[in-house]
Amino acid sequence: MWYMNEEREQLVKMIKDFAESEIRPFVKTMEETDAFPHEIIRKAGELGLIALWFPEQIGGMGKWLDYGLFLEEVSKISNCVGNCFASIPAGTSLLLSCGKPDLIGQYVIPTMMGQMVPASAQSEPVGGTRIQDFTCTAAIEGDELVINGGKIFCTNAGQADYYTVNCKTKPPYSAPFGSSCLVLVPANTPGLKIGHIENKVGWHGSSTGQLYFQDCRVPMSNLMMTMDMDESMTAAGAFGPAITTACCMLGGAEGVYEKTLAYCKERKHGDTPIFQKYQAMRHTFAELKMEIELLRSLIFGVLEDLDKGDYNISERALTAKVKGSRIFEHVASECIVLMGGNGTIVENDIERYYRDAKVTAIGGMSIYHLTDVVASQL
């Protein structure tokens, strides 16, 4: 691969060892009990794997591409765990860009070290993309912000140590704060309650749930940033989550492909492995492989550009998520068929990838919405 070198080969080997020893044994428990991977996150932090993405100024490695390799390898074994790690940049990038040293020291650095879990709470029942209709408010009272309202579909709900919450600035207090703001709310703040945790088709182990804020008070210093309320905020903030989620889709597609290929090379009809016996099957594998490699080229090209400081990648990042979602789902679906009856059996752990692929089409922004962002720029 053009982007690999000796250092990255060693990194990938270390990630593979980590994923085999820490993640694979936990997959069944996650599937069956929805257990959150706190311990996995803590260990990844200790090994410096989360720091791969964080900027050098705060002690990270500042490498999008290396973090992409991490997400890819982890997602081969568990797309859900991969997405837990993908949610870390989503939950901390705006916190970093607000540039407040206290918030960075208290929240971002422990997150980079795997000691804290972030969450990003934007979506409301009016529709995840209808920012202008959101009703959660932040009012200024003295040197505090008072939050009232609710959020839904928040990844890491009930498991996070802090939430970055998108609020409408409550009139008459909006000037000079813009019409909306992002506020950091620690999980243990009085007035914040965790509501229902959803039972999803996939991503078992990733907690997705509701938050309620009732006269929830945080100091004014927790105000991260203010902005004007419009949909461009969603579009502008979309490329980071889009490209990290796409890395997880790539890993998920590779993971299910590799398992299925190994099975078909082993499974015999008569004396011959079905992979050898049926040309149609080899062609299907070849098609799937081509789709995976196409996706890899797109994703790692974007990651390499980001590392060079070229941020003019929004459209390609959104394309990677939209096409990655389609490719992951298609590969997982075909793999079920390639394995025959055994592909449908839960214990064989193939259908999990298909269920996870469905969730990735929506979590971290739906692929229809991202397609609409691209369409609006035509």
Ligand X SMILES: Cc1cc2nc3c(=O)[nH]c(=O)nc-3n(C[C@H](O)[C@H](O)[C@H](O)COP(=O)(O)OP(=O)(O)OC[C@H]3O[C@@H](n4cnc5c(N)ncnc54)[C@H](O)[C@@H]3O)c2cc1C
List residues near ligand X by CB under 6 A: 120-123, 127-129, 153-155, 200, 203, 208, 359, 362-363, 365-366, 368-369, 372
Q: Smaller CB distance to ligand X: residue 75 or 155? A: 155
Q: Identify any residues that bridge with 162 across adjacent strands, giving them in sequence order.
A: 118, 186
What DSSP designation does 20 have? I
Nearest distance from residue 369's CB to ligand X, in Å? 4
Say if CB 181 and CB 167 are below 8 A apart: yes
What is d(CA 124, CA 135) in angstroms, rounded to the nearest whole number? 8
Nearest distance from residue 276's CB to ligand X, in Å? 40
What is d(CA 349, CA 352) in angstroms, rounded to the nearest whole number? 6
Nearest distance from residue 129's CB to ligand X, in Å? 4
Burial of 136 from C-beta contacts in 10 A (0-12 / 13-18 / 19+): buried
Nearest distance from residue 374's CB to ligand X, in Å? 10
For residue 3, the tally of other CB atoms under 10 A from its CB is 16
Minimal CB distance residue for ligand X = 128
Q: Smaller CB distance to ligand X: residue 192 or 264? A: 192
Which is it for the CA torsion 91, 96, 98, 101, positive or negative?
A: positive
Q: Smaller CB distance to ligand X: residue 259 or 352? A: 352
Say if CB 183 and CB 165 are below 8 A apart: yes
- How many residues appear in the chain? 378
Q: Smaller CB distance to ligand X: residue 92 or 122? A: 122
Nearest distance from residue 219's CB to ligand X, in Å? 23
What is d(CA 272, CA 343) in angstroms, rounded to the nearest whole number? 20
Which pairing describes strands 162-169 and 137-141: parallel, antiparallel, or unpaired?
parallel
Say if CB 184 and CB 251 are below 8 A apart: no
Nearest distance from residue 52's CB to ligand X, in Å? 21
Q: Smaller CB distance to ligand X: residue 100 or 369? A: 369
Q: Smaller CB distance to ligand X: residue 96 or 359? A: 359
Nearest distance from residue 196's CB to ligand X, in Å? 14
Which residue shows structure tokens 């009139």?
171
Which pairing describes strands 180-186 and 223-227: parallel, antiparallel, or unpaired?
antiparallel
Nearest distance from residue 130's CB to ligand X, in Å? 7
Nearest distance from residue 69's CB to ligand X, in Å? 24
Which pairing describes strands 162-169 and 118-121: parallel, antiparallel, or unpaired?
parallel
Q: Smaller CB distance to ligand X: residue 15 or 248? A: 248
Q: Which residues contact 190 (CB under 8 A, 6 or more apart)?
A: 216, 217
Q: Smaller CB distance to ligand X: residue 213 or 285? A: 213
Q: Smaller CB distance to ligand X: residue 15 or 238? A: 238
Q: Identify any residues that bridge with 219 across adjacent strands, giving them in sequence order.
A: 144
